[in-house]
Structures are given as structure tokens and as C-alpha cells.
């Protein structure tokens, strides 16, 4: 299963495609990077650029699932609009490619990657680097975030029970 | 010139397509309504439904310009994400149909429609009803908002000067 994590944004949209080997259960990076659009262009044009780049990415990678963060806007009201717009375009692209979509909160991603739902960002990045056996922490941070989303989904099966407990759901 | 006002939303996306007669300069409604998506469906599916309905709408109406409200998220953080996502899909659809995009703030729309940038919602709705010679105030409110955006753009030429003054721009 190929899982494509997406950290949506208009200036910089991070992506990280990961899978897990059947034998050893090790995580593998298939592709990772950022899609950028020039701030000098009007927003609608930038959305069309993002759309075109994501189209190409999904054509190339053929992911089974796109994973995106479930966001609650409290602090970053300024960037809320463009994050929402970019996320809308990403989700639309997924559906039109027949790619399933999964969403997790930041706390769920932290829990899945580090075993601790309140882990600091650095700890998540360090764990992503280790799980994927990368030489260094992926930069920019959007790439590490996208990879963490992918790992979260791949690992979901094993921590589904704990998440249900966190949410007080029946197991 | 056909101007399509869009009041973006995932549950209800209002639209209003207006034009102005060359002779008398009167406003005319070409089409108005709402596109809805069922809250029971997952967000990505709803975005794809919205996309498909907007595609059809733009095919039918062939508007020259799509007009959308420039939103600043302060109060409605809860709906910010879905409004942003719907707006992203609407803007993308416009670009892919070769339709220009214009954005105005709520205050600009009020100024253009009523001559008063702090006009209450009811006054804007009454003025939309009057300018388009409709029998009653368009319902739901999303439709009236979308029509107001269209009227705002069509009337823009005449109040551009006043707007520049409001913003302290050189005329």
C-alpha cells in the first residue's frame, strides 16, 4: 500500500509517499518534497498550478490513500483561507484519481509516530527520520509533516485500539 | 458581460448570475440558486460533487467573471475549513473554464449595492431585490449574497473612485 501524506498550503504544499515492507514491516520513502506556487500570481492561478502538480504526482505515484491533517483553526486565522483552499484542491484531486482519503488530528499523528500524543515537533521529526532511515531530518518542515501523516496511516492498525481508548470509544 | 457571484460553502453554495442591459443599464438575473451536498457524505466526496455541479453551471452559463467574497476568518473558525475548501474548488473551476476571478470584501459589496459600507444585511437584501426587480427577497440568504457579489462587480466601475478613497489609494 502506497500512502501519500499531504501538508496542504498554497505557498508550499508538502508531500511524502511511504509504504511498509511486507516482510520486515519497515517503512520506506517512495517520494517526498514540496509543491510550491509563486506568491506573485493570483490565488486562482496558484490553485490551478497546485492542482496540476498534484495531478502529476498522483499519476506518477498511484497512491492508495491520501492522508491529510484534520485541522481546527484557532491560532492561524491568517493562513486559514489558503490552507483550506489548498486542502480542498488536494482532496478533490484524490477523489478524482480514485484515491481514498484519511484524516488524522495532529495529536493522533504524534501518538502514532512517537507513541506520545503531545510530543514536541522535534521529536516527531526525529522519529520520522529514524523510521524511514533518512540521513537527516527532512526539510522543509512541511515534508517531515507529510511523511509523518503517511507513517501515521500505515501504523494505524497497531494503535487503533489506543486511539479508541483516548476517544472513549468501544473497542 | 455575465457575472457569476459565488457564496462558497460545502453544505450550501449560493450562486447568482447577473448581467446589465446595455441600453438602460438595468440589472438582470440570468440564474440563481444553491448547490448543496449531503452532510452524510465524506468531505472529499462532497468536494467532488460541488466541483461537478459548478462545472455544469459554468458550462451552462459561460460567465465572463466569477466573483467571490474575500474572507477574513475571525468569528467563524468552525466553518473556516469547509468554506476555504469550497472556495478553493470554486476558484479552481473558474480558472479551468477560462473564467476571470474577482474578489471583494463584505464592506465593498455593501458599499457597491447600498452605497453604505456598513449597511445591515437586510438592507443589502432589499436592495438586491429592488435592483433585480424580484418579487421577494431571494432565499436562502446564500443566494442573495451571491447576487450581491455579482451586482457589486457590475457596478464596480462607478464606485471604483470611492473605494480608492476609502483605501487611501491615489485616484
The more confidently predicted of residues A54 and A108 is A54
State the nearest Cα–Cα gap between A106 and chain B, in angstroms: 15
At A11-49, the pLDDT tens digits run 999 999 999 887 777 899 999 999 999 999 999 999 999
Q: For residue B142, indicate whether it is catalytic.
A: yes
Q: For residue B122, indicate whether it is catalytic.
A: no
Contacts of B53 in chain A (CB under 8 A): none
Structural Rg of chain A based on CA atoms: 16
Report mean pLDDT in 10-residue bins for chain B, 171 residues.
Answer: 94 95 84 96 96 97 94 65 93 96 90 88 95 94 96 73 57 44
At B6-19, the pLDDT tens digits run 999 999 999 999 99
Q: Are B65 and B4 in contact (CB under 8 A)?
A: yes
Mean pLDDT of A93-110: 93
At A53-97, the pLDDT tens digits run 999 999 999 999 999 988 766 556 667 788 999 999 999 999 999
Closest CA to B5 of B92, B102, B86: B102
- Using CA atoms, how far apart are residues A124 and A14, in angstroms rounded to an integer? 16
Nearest CA in chain A to B75: A77
**Complete domains list, chain A, with CATH:** 3-166 (3.30.420.10)
Closest CA to A95 of B133, B51, B28: B51
Q: For residue B69, indicate whether it is catalytic.
A: yes
State the nearest Cα–Cα gap between B118 and chain A, in angstroms: 23
A:B CB pairs within 8 Å: 93
Instruction: Note the pLDDT of residue B162.
Output: 52
- Using CA atoms, how far apart are residues B18 and B3, in angstroms rounded to an integer? 5
The string over B41-54, giving b where at least 16 C-beta atoms fall within 10 Å of a residue's C-beta and e elsewhere, is eebbebbbbbbebb
Cβ contact A94–B44 (<8 Å)? yes
Closest CA to A129 of A118, A115, A145: A145
Residues 6+ positions from A75 with CB-CB distance below 8 Å:
none
Q: In this model, does residue A162 exceed pLDDT 80?
A: no
Instruction: Note the pLDDT of residue B67.
Output: 96
Q: Are A127 and B121 in contact (CB under 8 A)?
A: no
Choosing among A44, A51, A95, A101, which should be mutated to test the B contact, i.e. which has the most B CBs within 10 A?
A44
State the nearest Cα–Cα gap between A73 and chain B, in angstroms: 6
Say yes or no: A141 contacts chain B, CB-CB below 8 A.
Answer: no
Amino acid at each position: 500500500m502506497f500512502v501519500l501524506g499531504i501538508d496542504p498550503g498554497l505557498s508550499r504544499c508538502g508531500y511524502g509517499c511511504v509504504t511498509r515492507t511486507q516482510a520486515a514491516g519497515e517503512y520506506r520513502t517512495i517520494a517526498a518534497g514540496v509543491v510550491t506556487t509563486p506568491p506573485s500570481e493570483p490565488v486562482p492561478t496558484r490553485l490551478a498550478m497546485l492542482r496540476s502538480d498534484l495531478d502529476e504526482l498522483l499519476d506518477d505515484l498511484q497512491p492508495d490513500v491520501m492522508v491529510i491533517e484534520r485541522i481546527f483553526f484557532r491560532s492561524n486565522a491568517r493562513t486559514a483561507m489558503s490552507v483550506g483552499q489548498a486542502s480542498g484542491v488536494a482532496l478533490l484531486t484524490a477523489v478524482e484519481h480514485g484515491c481514498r482519503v484519511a484524516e488524522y488530528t495532529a495529536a493522533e499523528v504524534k501518538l502514532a509516530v512517537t507513541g506520545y500524543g503531545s510530543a514536541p515537533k522535534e521529536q516527531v521529526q526525529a522519529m520520522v527520520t529514524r523510521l524511514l532511515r533518512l540521513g537527516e531530518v527532512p526539510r522543509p518542515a512541511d515534508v517531515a509533516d507529510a511523511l509523518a501523516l503517511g507513517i501515521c496511516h500505515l501504523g494505524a492498525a497497531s494503535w487503533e485500539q489506543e486511539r479508541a481508548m483516548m476517544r472513549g470509544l468501544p473497542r
